[in-house]
């Protein structure tokens, strides 16, 4: 079994079993695949450098829309313009966090400095957003329904399996964030 | 002899221009049943540099009221904050209005 993250003198440490690492590696890879842009970077080098993407549109996959939401409410034009200016770099920064977390999984023991812990918390959160969309979590009642699935012996269909995975990733993220907050509080 | 060759600046004009770019915008963070309360509080503390108390108050407001206005300032700054919040996986939007800050 995985152990909770602990804030210690050398950083935030955690321990994961091999199957848990494999699961997380797969989840991170799935989200990276979702986030990789369909179109190559803009041919205009300046546009590419600035991360502009004039061909961007609102994601049709609701899970991807959760990762890349509109930044302006009730104004589709302004929201799209914002996407053109920012979405490509947002995708890249999310992919960067997911890749960094995935690389950390290659080491036996997880030892995270504040920056790595931030990457990990972002990566785990993005995985949870995607799983939550697949599990149709819209409100607290839905969240409770998913949270009640706790026994791996009940993993007999896709929904209960995804619920168990969601609960595991949620537990891991909560443990990481508690360790990070404890570290911030102690001023280290 | 004057050292400056620059034309006289109309001071009233300068004041007006500064004011027009300084119309307060606000950053709204929306509730969702996925993001952990601890994580939202961590993001508010680490990204905005808010105290534990302030971060926790804003987080509770998001949780209970469905949204909270977490930052104020010029449009560009609020847009940068929105991108950062989306990077963390929180849903944030920018809008005109709110108090000055």
User: For A103-146, how does the pLDDT look when each residue is reduced to its tens digit (9 = 90+)?
Assistant: 999 987 899 999 999 999 999 999 999 999 999 999 999 999 99
The ipTM is 0.92
- Which of A133, A181, A184 to probe by mutation at the B interface, max B CB count within 10 Å? A181
> What confidence score (pLDDT) does residue A121 get?
98
- State the pLDDT at residue B10: 52
Q: How many domains does chain A have?
A: 1
User: What is the pTM assigned to this prediction?
Assistant: 0.88
Instruction: Tell if the CB–CB gap between A93 and B88 is shorter than 8 Å.
Output: no
Between residues B101 and A175, which one has the greater pLDDT?
Answer: A175
Residue A12 in any domain: the answer is: no
Q: Distance (Å) from the C-alpha of residue A41 to the closest C-alpha of chain B?
A: 19
- The range of the structural domain enclosing residue A135 comes to 21-185
Domains of chain B: 24-96 (3.30.1390.10)
Flag whether A10 is in a domain. Answer: no
Instruction: Find the mean pLDDT for residues B27-33.
Output: 95
Domain membership of residue A161 (yes or no) is yes
Which range among A18-32, A81-95, A110-124, B2-16 shows the weakest confidence by mean pLDDT?
A: B2-16
Question: Chain A, 154-173: which have a CB under 8 Å from a chain B CB?
Answer: 170, 173
Residue B48, pLDDT above cutoff 60: yes
Instruction: Determine the pLDDT at residue A154.
Output: 77
pLDDT at B11: 52
What is the predicted pLDDT for the residue at B17?
47
Q: Considering the domain boundaries, does residue A32 fall inside one? A: yes
**What's the pLDDT at B101?**
40
Kindly state the average pLDDT of the residues A25-47.
84
Residue A87 lies in a domain: yes
How does DSSP assign chain A, residue by residue? --EEEEEETTEEEEE--HHHHHHHHHHHHHHHHHHS-SSPSPSSHHHHHHT--TT----SSHHHHHHS--SSTT-HHHHHHHHHHHHHHHHHHHHHHHHHHHHHTTSSSEEE-HHHHHHHHHHHHHHHHHHHHHTT--SHHHHHHHHT---GGG--SHHHHHHHHHHHHHHHHHHHHHHHHHHHHTT-
């Amino acid at each position: 079994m995985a152990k909770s993250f602990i804030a210690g003198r050398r950083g935030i440490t955690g321990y994961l079993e091999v199957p848990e690492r494999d699961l997380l590696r797969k989840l991170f890879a799935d989200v990276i695949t979702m986030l990789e842009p369909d179109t190559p970077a803009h041919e205009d080098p300046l546009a590419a450098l600035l991360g502009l993407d004039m061909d961007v549109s609102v994601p049709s996959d609701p899970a991807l829309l959760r990762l890349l939401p509109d930044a302006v409410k009730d104004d589709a034009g302004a929201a799209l313009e914002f996407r053109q200016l920012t979405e490509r770099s947002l995708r890249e920064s999310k992919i960067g966090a997911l890749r960094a977390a995935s690389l950390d999984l290659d080491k036996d023991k997880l030892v995270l400095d504040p920056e790595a812990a931030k990457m990990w918390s972002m990566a785990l959160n993005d995985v949870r957003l995607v799983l939550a969309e697949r599990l149709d979590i819209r409100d607290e009642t839905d969240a409770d329904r998913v949270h009640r699935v706790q026994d791996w012996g009940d993993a007999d269909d896709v929904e209960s399996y995804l619920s168990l995975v969601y609960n595991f990733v949620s537990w891991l993220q909560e443990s990481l964030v508690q360790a990070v907050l404890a570290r911030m509080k102690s001023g280290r | 002899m004057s050292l400056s060759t620059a034309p006289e600046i109309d001071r009233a004009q300068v004041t007006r221009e500064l004011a027009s770019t300084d119309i307060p915008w606000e950053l709204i963070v929306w509730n969702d049943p996925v993001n952990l309360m601890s994580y939202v509080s961590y993001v508010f503390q680490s990204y905005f540099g808010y105290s534990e108390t302030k971060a926790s108050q804003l987080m509770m407001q998001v949780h209970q009221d469905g949204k909270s206005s977490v930052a104020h300032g010029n449009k560009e700054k609020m847009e940068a904050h929105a991108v950062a919040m989306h990077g963390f996986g929180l849903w944030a939007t920018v809008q005109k209005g709110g108090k000055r800050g």
